[in-house]
Structure 1
């Protein structure tokens, strides 16, 4: 029953909240769609952390897409054997994962330790920063530690198959029974961040400056002066 909830019900709940939450947020709260900037308070740590995080997270996401979305047999068909894939996942993935981790540490440290930034932050900002940092840490641990301690484990024969089957409405929780705990925690935390996404500053990922072209209104914010 627990496995059924964790690996069937919970992922679908998170995906439903992600989709309908975005629709609701956009229809009811467009003025607060973009993230509040704290650049005017502290710029150096923000710049360094953001650059590291964004340069690292894009290859990490692409790696997740290829690892979870592309079947192992397809990789073999184009000449990428298991050994070559493993080297790429450990070394290339580890490099960009470490870059992402370092960026998240700087950004999270900044948000929690600089008083003026923390005061500007909402509770959701602090939760998202903490959860993202936790997800990256668990991902790095699974990649660099679990894969070394349990080299016989191949997530492409378990997690990847289970993940793809979610989209065909036939997920098999039994595929996750033998998955190491670090991978399980990383997966569950990943789905949790998708459920939180529509209600946090993460929605600014979808914002494109061009959407402001042609708008017939401008939002002004009045600052109180003492």
Structure 2
């Protein structure tokens, strides 16, 4: 019963909240759809932390999409052996995970230790920062430590299949039974951040590209007397 809730009911609840929450907030709080930048209070740590985080998180996200979405039979067909894939996931993924972690540590420390930044932060900001840091720590630990201590474990034989089945509405909770605890916590905390997403400043992720694409310019012309 617990496994059924954690690996079937809970993920669908989070996905539903993610979708409905975004629609509701966009319709009712478009003016709050912002990052509320604290750059004017403290810039150096923000710039370093944000740079490291974004440099790391993009390859990490692509790695997650690849690892969860592409069956191992496909990579084998392309000539990538399971061992080669595993080494790439551990070392390349681990490297960018550490870079992401360094950025998150700087950003989280800045938000909690800089008095003016903390005053500007809402409760949701502090919760999201803490949860994101936890997710990254669990991800790095799973990649570099758990994979080393449990060499026979391959997340593509369990988590990836479970996740793809979840998307096609045929989830099998038993696939997660033998998954190491660190991976389980990483997955659950990942779904939790998706449930919180619509109610935090994370929504600005969807609007930043549009802001640049739709930026308008005001042209001033010198009025010359004829």
Q: Which TM-score applies when normalising by structure 2?
A: 0.93
Structure-1 residue corresponding to 2:4: 4
List runs of 5+ in structure 2 lacking aligned partners.
217-226
Does residue 125 of structure 1 match 2:130?
no
Structure-2 residue corresponding to 1:202: 202
Structure-1 residue corresponding to 2:219: none
Structure-2 residue corresponding to 1:152: 152
Render the CA deviation track for 1:141-193: whole Å, top value 9, x for unaligned: 10001000000011000000000001110100000000000000000000000
Shift >6 Å, 4+ stretches: none
Q: CA deviation at 1:91?
A: 1.1
RMSD, matched Cα = 1.2
Render the CA deviation track for 1:57-104: whole Å, top value 9, x for unaligned: 000000000000000100101111111101111111111000000000
Render the CA deviation track for 1:43-64: whole Å, top value 9, x for unaligned: 0000000000000000000000
Render the CA deviation track for 1:27-55: whole Å, top value 9, x for unaligned: 00000101101000000000000000000
Render the CA deviation track for 1:4-28: whole Å, top value 9, x for unaligned: 0000000000000001100001000
Q: CA deviation at 1:211?
A: 6.4
Render the CA deviation track for 1:85-138: whole Å, top value 9, x for unaligned: 011111111110000000000000000000000000000000000000000000
Q: Which TM-score applies when normalising by structure 1?
A: 0.93
Tell me how far apart the structure 1 counterparts of residues 168 and 78 of structure 2 sit (CA, whole Å).
25
Tell me how far apart the structure 1 counterparts of residues 83 and 150 of structure 2 sit (CA, whole Å).
15
Q: What are the residue-to-residue correspondences of 1:144-223 with 2, within 5 Å?
A: 144-207=144-207, 208-210=210-212, 212-213=214-215
Q: CA deviation at 1:209?
A: 1.1
Structure-1 residue corresponding to 2:25: 25
Tell me how far apart the structure 2 counterparts of residues 209 and 75 of structure 1 sit (CA, whole Å).
37
Q: CA deviation at 1:210?
A: 4.1
Tell me how far apart the structure 2 counterparts of residues 137 and 161 of structure 1 sit (CA, whole Å).
24
Structure-2 residue corresponding to 1:99: 99
CA distance change for structure 1 residues 62 and 98 in 2, over 3 Å: closer, same or farther?
same
Structure-2 residue corresponding to 1:79: 79
